[in-house]
A and B are shown apart, each in its own frame.
Chain A
Amino acid sequence: MAPAGSAIGAGVGLDAVLPSLRAVRSSTHHRDTDHRPPICERGSLDGPIVTADSIPEPVAEGGRPGGAQNLGPDYVVFDPSVLAGLVNGDQEKIARLGRKFIDTTRASVEQMLEAVREGDHERVGRLAHSLKSAAATVGAPGLASANEELEAACERGEADVVGPLVTTIAARAESVARELLGTLGEKPW
């Protein structure tokens, strides 16, 4: 039988988790089996997922209040050496993980857009949190940083920048996919 304890629910941001994490060390039991976001099966390599009529206007590159960061000449869309270094240059693994990244990222962006339409910023934040790590793992710093901004905006409840940031992320995700597929020697779509 499990001891009395406390579960932390869906919050992924530091502000959401830290108080609970402190409390969990001496708290009572609550098991959160809340709703898991639906797994989106879509996200194949055969096309972009963003449709023009479904998304808000993008945050202008080069600055915002509360939007995307500056993109200078050193801006890196995708650095193939990061993923290669992670798997010791194993081309088969690079290809497998690269395709997986594109598929899961497209699915995540689609879910983000859906969550924005529904006004579910908590879900947007969770998705941004996951995509932030995935993007950093494959070597897509711009995509990672935009997701970090989005996660923070969701935590702060900055509803006005959430939609535009998601649009920025959708565009960057497709740029990364294009470069990644080029690295793999495949046509983007």
Chain B
Amino acid sequence: MVIDEAAGREHEFARLGVLVVDDDEFMLEVVRELLTGLGVSEVRSASDAENALALIDSTTESTDVIVFDLNMYGMHGTELMRQLASRHFAGGIVLMSGSSEQLLTLAVELGRDLGLRVLASLRKPVELAQLRTALESAAADRHLRGSNG
């Protein structure tokens, strides 16, 4: 039973399209590795918010989840949220930050104020279990959308 659940979860993760955005090259690679390790087969990445938006605007592939660093240079994560809201982004959002919980809490509130679906806020260093839990919410969402569609 447990094995079935794990296999089902991995199957659901495999169908997720995830975009990772971080201006730190190493952290971008780490999160990519974590996601592929969790079974996500479609992981795209962008080194800043502008590139992330360009990817979203230029592709027809669905983005189920965007995982991004809040403290990016140039366009900050909060502005990225505003831009996503203006595009009526319907996927999930996972925020990351090496700053305080207070900052993350405020960012989550902002995201929700903007009508975004904030799945999780993760303090760096990111832990595998936290990312898995966030993806489970996204996978459940996707499953629901599939069932209703």
Give the interface of A toward B (CB within 8 A): 1-3, 5-10, 12-14, 17-18, 20-22, 24-25, 31-34, 36-37, 39, 82, 85-88, 90, 93, 96-97, 100-101, 104-105, 126, 129-130, 132-134, 136-137
Contact = CB atoms under 8 A, between A and B. Distances in A.
B4 interface: no
B64 interface: no
27 contacts: A5-B79, A6-B79, A6-B82, A12-B99, A14-B99, A24-B79, A24-B82, A24-B110, A25-B109, A25-B110, A34-B74, A82-B125, A85-B128, A86-B125, A87-B37, A90-B37, A93-B33, A93-B37, A96-B33, A97-B33, A100-B25, A129-B71, A130-B24, A132-B98, A136-B98, A137-B27, A137-B124
B65 interface: no
Contact of B74 (A24, A33, A105, A136): A33
Contact residues on B (Cβ < 8 Å of other chain), bracket:
35 or more
B72 to A, nearest CB: 9
A36 B106 contact: no
A90 B78 CA distance: 34
A25 B86 CA distance: 14
Contact of B34 (A2, A87, A129): A87
Given A14-B100, A137-B126, A21 B26 contact: no
Contacts of B30: 86, 97, 137
B29 interface: yes
Contacts of B37: 87-88, 90, 93
A8 B79 contact: yes
B7 interface: no
Nearest to B70: A17
B109 to A, nearest CB: 8
A86 B26 contact: no
Given A6-B78, A36-B74, 14 more contacts: A1-B86, A18-B106, A20-B76, A24-B78, A31-B79, A33-B50, A86-B125, A90-B37, A96-B29, A97-B29, A97-B30, A104-B25, A129-B99, A132-B98
A86 B128 contact: yes
B103 interface: yes
Contacts of B127: 86
Contacts of A13: 99
B6 to A, nearest CB: 13
